[in-house]
Structure 1
């Protein structure tokens, strides 16, 4: 006869590794269990969520709509289509667990990824839904402060300058400000470094009929005019020529433009947001950027911290991109804990743009549903590990000798304990360090 007794630790490990989300609530709106699908759906570990009250989680708008209150009230099985703020769409079924006295003791939920047009085998309730579409995904206090200031600057007419490293999300923040403003016009974005001066002038200011050889016979409206009653985002504004700097200053001061070849000025009502990777103060000192324009553009500044300085945003962002690429390529990939640890430790010189690229790489190149560390680029493991610095200097005998002993030890223990978690425990190092050692010495 088969022994059906399963150790709780083993059972919990099985539940934790299910692809679908499993949640248990007690009879007082407290979350008492959730498996590791919480990373993919909410960007939070089970430890971050267990013990939290339902109302606290709903207040943060992690998912919508919420079926739990209705299950408490009606004490029957209910299903609902939900969305999470990380872009996952779920079919959630909630089952009330009643005691002998008929009173509700627990609610068990199963949430599985759901796609449009998928047939519902059981009836789903339609509940009022909250819009969870967030332009910017974050959990860090650093980004919370940035957005709080951005919200205050959204409806002022003065220009706003957004500072930050390449790939940190400057254009996304500019679009966020426009979409949350009272302006009804368009959001127009242009990269000033991608177009030569002559063409950029006509693109920004437009031109009249016959302004130059090859001009359209009817003339053309410029991007500034196209952004009337909306927002104009000038990326890489430090690349503007002195001539265009002077014309932009006139637009800010007089709220009017003069098309190329024209004589009649046109009034415009626009919000100007700029961004650049160059040090404008240095450009002002070397007289490559107008001082008066600098002060007009930088009266209000927003600085987006580099991703490595707001590490609480890494896992939510990674899972947001994971959900996006899973949908794009019709896949069901998910991160292992080892990968999440490595993502948290990496320095991200390319910021959010690099994170999106790495996640897409993992999703596309994986042959299995689980995304493992071996799919990450080699440089990913070495960039921020001081213990490995200098290992390539073979002429340094001490370093070479240390590496040889390290290899022997790692290989020996990995044969006895063939998992990163067990190896980490035996060597008394972090699991992410163990993953790097395995990749370096045991998989090459």
Structure 2
């Protein structure tokens, strides 16, 4: 059973309204009650005059806009009525001099009490069958509709992001330079990159760098939320096509305006533009072309497109409008993954930590920083880092965020057979920052001294005892220490301490290479095999100097990698 046909009578009424007004011009001027009552409900102010320019009819919207009644202005000169609004008077005179209709947008209307409004106007001249002037019709449209439209689209409006652009890595330095160059124009831009990499943040920074009015709108619209069948209407409105005739009466409602009207003078960000329907993509392309040619009747704003899809992949999609992609690629910014900008990780982490609501005073330990540097951030890049910092702040029970707080949530309920050593006073004392600093310094000093004994006293009893300690008691002691107090032993490991010290002395900002973490299942067994082979081949258990060379090699690897 088919559904009933939708009632289109109202749509047809608005479609035919302009023709009706023109065809009924004589009836308007002659005070025809039917036509007057029909037009009185329109939101557009209408004022008609006789051939001498004297006011004869004004609808309710005109009375409200001018804050007066028809009886007060009837038979007064239309030009005198708007004497305080020179721009409107100029357009009325222009229409009379040229004997042609005139339209103007964003004109100042100044009322008798000094109140000022921004309006669109249209002056229509009417002639009889003998081409003699019989009267004028002035249509005035109050642009305060924008305030209502802003409310209806409020969820799409964002405040441009504040904060520093972190660009210590080579790839982000390139992006920063691109933003500077792109800020010199208002050409459309395409930001492409993986989820959470900072594309919307960069779009906001571009908006701020253009030198726009501080109140210039920054509007973001997620194309996933747009009905493909209504994509053009959502973006540009239903009442006005891109090739609109500027010399026509335009009776509008809120539905006639799209998101583009909200972004006038600012930036319109189309998030996930790859999800926009073909009709919408074509409309965006037409808008860009017409703005560049100076022929668009729509509000002017900068178009910024954002996508997670590789542009090369977009070009293969039949449903994506290729001419638009070609134009967007003229100013493309490829946003790198966080893995590609390791030098930015710690500065970003500190910004996220400092920017937490309430001014959190927690700080990152060296171990936590190393942990952040070794993560892959394969899920959501910068957003993943920010989420990790916020979670770490919540689970850290002191003023310091340590390694175990990174990417870990609250501990699950412990079983009856689990023992949390961190609850003991001794463990808390040993993991204190000051205690760890003393332990690191002492153990590193002892380790270096041990290498010196092995190297310079290899033939003495001291060197032999030191060598025996390393290959017998020392190994077992380290294993037990790792099993019982892994957090402490890893934190005070002399090899990692040597690496950190070298980084601090020579300002080595590079993080550990990614291949070391990725290949660790292979490198660890191979390293143990190499150590065992070296011990057997060079008889290290009985030759202290050979052992010292092995330890020096391990320290060197820790420093350089």
- TM-score tier after normalising by the smaller chain length: 0.5 to 0.7
**C-alpha spacing 1:407/1:344, structure 2 compared with 1 (3 Å):** farther
Q: Is contact 1:424–1:430 with CA below 8 Å preserved after alignment?
A: no
Q: In the TM superposition, what are the counterparts of 1:338-377 in structure 2 within 5 Å?
A: 338-349=367-378, 350-377=380-407
For normalisation by structure 1, the TM-score amounts to: 0.52
How many Å apart are 1:420 and its aligned residue? 3.7
Question: For the residues of structure 2 that align with 1:166 and 1:422, how far apart are their CA atoms?
Answer: 33
Please, which of 228, 247, 254 is the counterpart of residue 264 of structure 2?
A: 228
Question: For the residues of structure 2 that align with 1:147 and 1:373, how far apart are their CA atoms?
Answer: 32
Structure possessing the higher radius of gyration over alpha carbons: 2
**Does residue 252 of the first structure (1) align with residue 291 of the second (2)?**
no
Q: Look up the match of 1:192.
A: 223
Q: Is contact 2:175–2:333 with CA below 8 Å preserved after alignment?
A: yes
Please, which of 329, 332, 337 is the counterpart of residue 301 of structure 1?
A: 332
Q: Look up the match of 2:165.
A: 136
Please, which of 201, 206, 213 is the counterpart of residue 237 of structure 2?
A: 206
Q: Is contact 2:391–2:408 with CA below 8 Å preserved after alignment?
A: no
Question: For the residues of structure 2 that align with 1:201 and 1:233, how far apart are their CA atoms?
Answer: 15
Provide the aligned length of Structure 1 versus Structure 2.
Answer: 262
How many Å apart are 1:340 and its aligned residue? 0.5
Question: For the residues of structure 2 that align with 1:292 and 1:234, how far apart are their CA atoms?
Answer: 17
Question: For the residues of structure 2 that align with 1:410 and 1:430, how far apart are their CA atoms?
Answer: 21
Q: In the TM superposition, what are the counterparts of 1:403-418 in structure 2 within 5 Å?
A: 410-413=479-482, 415=484
Please, which of 288, 293, 302 is the counterpart of residue 319 of structure 2?
A: 288
Please, which of 494, 499, 515 is the counterpart of residue 425 of structure 1?
A: 494
SS of aligned partner of 1:352: helix
Question: For the residues of structure 2 that align with 1:417 and 1:249, how far apart are their CA atoms?
Answer: 60
Question: For the residues of structure 1 that align with 2:230 and 2:387, how far apart are their CA atoms?
Answer: 31
How many Å apart are 1:198 and its aligned residue? 4.3
Question: For the residues of structure 2 that align with 1:357 and 1:191, how far apart are their CA atoms?
Answer: 22
**Does residue 316 of the first structure (1) align with residue 347 of the second (2)?**
yes
Q: Look up the match of 2:200.
A: 171
What do residues 241-274 of structure 1 show as CA deviations (whole Å, max 9, x unaligned)? Answer: 1111111111111139xxxxxxxx8332221111
How many Å apart are 1:426 and its aligned residue? 7.3
Question: For the residues of structure 2 that align with 1:235 and 1:417, how far apart are their CA atoms?
Answer: 46
Q: Is contact 1:159–1:298 with CA below 8 Å preserved after alignment?
A: no
Question: For the residues of structure 1 that align with 2:165 and 2:176, how far apart are their CA atoms?
Answer: 9
Gaps of 5+ in 2: 1-161, 241-251, 410-474, 501-511, 521-561
What do residues 353-394 of structure 1 show as CA deviations (whole Å, max 9, x unaligned)? Answer: 111100110112222111122223369xxxxxxxxxxxxxxx
Question: For the residues of structure 1 that align with 2:476 and 2:387, how far apart are their CA atoms?
Answer: 32
How many Å apart are 1:161 and its aligned residue? 1.1
Q: Is contact 2:354–2:360 with CA below 8 Å preserved after alignment?
A: no
SS of aligned partner of 1:267: coil
What do residues 32-74 of structure 1 show as CA deviations (whole Å, max 9, x unaligned)? Answer: xxxxxxxxxxxxxxxxxxxxxxxxxxxxxxxxxxxxxxxxxxx
Q: Look up the match of 1:147.
A: 176
Question: For the residues of structure 2 that align with 1:427 and 1:152, how far apart are their CA atoms?
Answer: 43
Q: Is contact 2:392–2:407 with CA below 8 Å preserved after alignment?
A: no
239-248 or 272-281: which moved more? 272-281
Question: For the residues of structure 1 that align with 2:360 and 2:163, how far apart are their CA atoms?
Answer: 23
SS of aligned partner of 1:161: strand
176-185 or 355-364: which moved more? 176-185
Please, which of 267, 272, 284 is the counterpart of residue 298 of structure 2?
A: 267
How many Å apart are 1:167 and its aligned residue? 0.6
Q: Look up the match of 2:363.
A: 334
SS of aligned partner of 2:304: strand
**C-alpha spacing 1:194/1:410, structure 2 compared with 1 (3 Å):** farther
How many Å apart are 1:217 and its aligned residue? 5.8
Question: For the residues of structure 2 that align with 1:336 and 1:157, how far apart are their CA atoms?
Answer: 44
Question: For the residues of structure 2 that align with 1:158 and 1:305, how far apart are their CA atoms?
Answer: 22
Question: For the residues of structure 1 that align with 2:390 and 2:476, how far apart are their CA atoms?
Answer: 32
How many Å apart are 1:193 and its aligned residue? 1.7
SS of aligned partner of 2:393: helix
SS of aligned partner of 1:316: helix
Q: Is contact 1:208–1:218 with CA below 8 Å preserved after alignment?
A: no
Greater helix fraction, Structure 1 or Structure 2? 2
SS of aligned partner of 1:419: helix
Question: For the residues of structure 1 that align with 2:167 and 2:284, how far apart are their CA atoms?
Answer: 34
Question: For the residues of structure 2 that align with 1:218 and 1:418, how far apart are their CA atoms?
Answer: 63
- CA RMSD of the aligned region, Å? 3.6
Question: For the residues of structure 2 that align with 1:161 and 1:268, how far apart are their CA atoms?
Answer: 20
Q: Look up the match of 1:12.
A: none
Gaps of 5+ in 1: 1-132, 210-215, 257-264, 380-405, 437-444
Which of structures 1 and 2 has the larger relative contact order (alpha carbons within 8 angstroms, sep 6+)? 1
How many Å apart are 1:286 and its aligned residue? 3.6
How many Å apart are 1:331 and its aligned residue? 3.4
